[in-house]
Amino acid sequence: TSSSETFLLGGSRSVDRGNNWLETLYLNYQTESFSVGGESGNSVMLMPGITWSKVSADNRIYPLRGLRLLLDVHGAHPDLLSNVQFVQVRAQAKFVHKFLAKERIILRGDVGATRFGAIRSLPTSVRFFAGGAQSVRGYSYNSLGPVNASGQVVGGSQLLVGSAELEHRFTDKWSAALFYDAGNAMSNWQESLKKGAGFGIHWRSPVGPIRFDLGFALSEPGIPKRLHITVGPDL
């Protein structure tokens, strides 16, 4: 229900703050022509921001014990060469831990909040959507969020997603997994979360696990299912 065309030019400066923490100051100039739920617009944004991130793991590709944290704050204001006004905060975390002999537990969280003038003025890239392989499995990519009068997803100002996964390795290269996801993009924190659960088969490749996950949309009538295929390192 959305499309956009974006031009972005930016610069950044990263500083090692010790204990695996990396601080990045950045400044992005972005123009965006967008259409969301039948409404279109054009935005011009000069966005200063700051990110703190940390990765600690015994192996970035396939960790037995690892942690990834990220906190990002950025925004735009009409007094700073922009035609929209907002401040957005987003925090992400992922935790991997081995227990017993061949099991791993993988926990993931993603929360965001936006303070803005008018949601209709915000371009697609600034709105929150949920659903998909890296969000709530069982639902299609970016299919979750506030909808307009026609039932089209238009994105929200807040985001809350959580996931828990148990993986069992039955050979050196192959694992089976069970997972439960919950989350949504929202206009306020009182809105309900969408739930998804399922199972998967994972193959440990040289570039990271290749995951075949079958997710069931528990919050939808008839509990439809969706296959998700992802490739890449755990952290």
Question: What's the pTM?
Answer: 0.94
Q: Sheet containing 2-18: which strands, arranged edge to edge?
A: 2-18, 21-36, 39-57, 65-76, 86-99, 103-116, 158-169, 174-186, 194-205, 208-217, 225-231
pLDDT at position 119 over 80: no
For the chain, what is the mean pLDDT? Answer: 95
Q: What is the pLDDT of residue 135?
A: 97
Name which of 229, 194, 196 is nearest 215 in CA terms: 196
Task: Give tens-digit pLDDT for 16-43.
Answer: 999 999 999 999 999 999 999 888 999 9
The DSSP secondary-structure symbol of 54 reads E
Q: What is the pLDDT of residue 2?
A: 85
Task: Give tens-digit pLDDT for 146-197.
Answer: 999 889 999 999 999 999 999 999 999 999 999 999 999 999 999 999 999 9
Task: Give tens-digit pLDDT for 200-230.
Answer: 999 999 999 999 999 999 999 999 999 999 9
pLDDT confidence tier of residue 120, bands split at 50, 70 and 90? confident
Q: Across-strand partners of 114?
A: 88
Spatial separation of the C-alpha atoms in residues 134 and 75, rounded to whole Å: 24
